[in-house]
Amino acid sequence: MDRVLIEGLSVETVIGVYDWERTIRQRLELDLELATDLRPAAAGDDLDRTLDYAAISQRIGEFAASSRFELVETFAERLAAMLREEFGIAWLRLTLRKPGAVANARAVGVRIERGER
């Protein structure tokens, strides 16, 4: 199965368990691998026959802007479910990082895979 990649996507959202975190927006960084068959799009040079990474990136930004989760695990799980449903993605791997959340670490986060390849 081929994959569409979106790497280093930065979004802002309300995320965190501490009271002070509930009053600010924080940056999350995402990497995605989205499984699809690229041959039909390539054969016809047709955007409508592939996963539109611009549209997906925009939708992720909208999702983040309207979200207010405590855990990055919840953000990742809900985002994966939304992407699979709205864009018909059979399988995805999502890496989600929260920079600066832990002293002496560049970022903390989770990596999940959902669906079947």
Query: What are the residue numbers of the active site?
Result: 98
Please name the residues in contact with 114: beta carbons below 8 A apart, sequence gap of 6 or more.
80, 81, 84, 91, 92, 94
For the CA atoms of 50, 30, 86, 70, what is the dihedral angle to 10 degrees?
180
Distance CA 111, CA 93 (A): 7
Backbone angles phi, psi at 104, to 5 degrees: 70, 10
